[in-house]
Amino acid sequence: MADILITEFMEESQVARLAESYDVAYLPDLVAEQDKIPALMPGVRGLIVRNATQVRGAVLDAADKLECVGRLGVGLDNIDMDACAAKGVKVFPATGANSDSVAELAMGAIYVMFRRSYLATPDVVAGKWPRIELMGREVQGKTLGIIGLGWTGQALAWRARGNGMNRIAYDPWVKKDDPRWADCKVERAETLDDLLPKCDAVSIHVPLTDDTRGLFNAETIAKMKDRALL
């Protein structure tokens, strides 16, 4: 049996590096047939997944030699962390690896929603110029609320600063005296309720856990500014 099982897409040059030292089973299409994974788990020491492979139940039950799970990303909601801990299986997310990419996409989404440029693409392709619809709103001077000041939240704070936005962040897991507040030059919100009424846009950068599930609902959205973006 393979030492390492990879069930989703991974850069093939990195797969080749692993294969220099280990017996690797690279099966990127296996994620579409997850019922077949348990049969491949006996003897596997390392399992590498993205966000679709469910590492729980029968997969872990069949993992008699599993030592670690590598997550190509940062969200861990597809991995049963308690069950892994009970079996002594370590979980390694790629913390910080995609923070710049996500922050750039978030900043791009803010521009699209404020300036409305992308939304007019079909009209422009058709030879029209919907001037009023394209006016949008300026980003500079607006206030951005950042929920979660981890690697991605910090990366977004810097990009927002470069675009002339005011920045407020809320993260109950980051202590008041943590240096990242000053390093990122963001205002610290004591509570989510303190942040929401001040922001023209809010960007969420937290993992999906029992604590964060349902973080935004009708009640919290009602506390946001009129015309604010989420």
Query: What are the tens digits of pLDDT across the range 160-194?
Result: 999 999 999 999 999 999 999 999 999 999 999 99
Same domain, 119 and 216: yes
Positions in the chain short of pLDDT 70: none
pLDDT at residue 7, as a whole number: 98
Domain end: 77, 93, 109, which one? 93
Long-range contacts of 77-83 (CB under 8 A, 24+ apart): 77/51, 77/207, 77/208, 77/209, 78/49, 78/51, 78/52, 78/53, 78/54, 79/49, 79/55, 80/55, 80/56, 83/56
- Residue 71 resides in a domain: yes
Count of structural domains, the chain = 2
In a domain, 228, yes or no: no
- Are residues 158 and 120 both part of a single domain? yes
Instruction: Report the predicted TM-score, pTM, of the whole model to 2 decimal places.
Output: 0.81
Which of 43, 61, 93 marks a domain boundary?
93
Domain-terminating residue out of 93, 121, 151: 93
Domain that holds residue 24: 4-93
Tell me the CATH number at 29.
Answer: 3.40.50.720
Q: Are residues 64 and 139 in the same domain?
A: no
What is the per-residue pLDDT across 123-132, written as a single tens digit (0 to 9) for each?
Answer: 889 999 888 8
Helix, strand, or coil here: 92?
strand
What does the pLDDT read at residue 210? 86
Same domain, 73 and 147: no
Say if 230 falls within a structural domain. Answer: no
Residues 114 and 206 in one domain: yes
* pLDDT computed for residue 70 by the predictor: 98
Domain identity same for 87 and 129: no
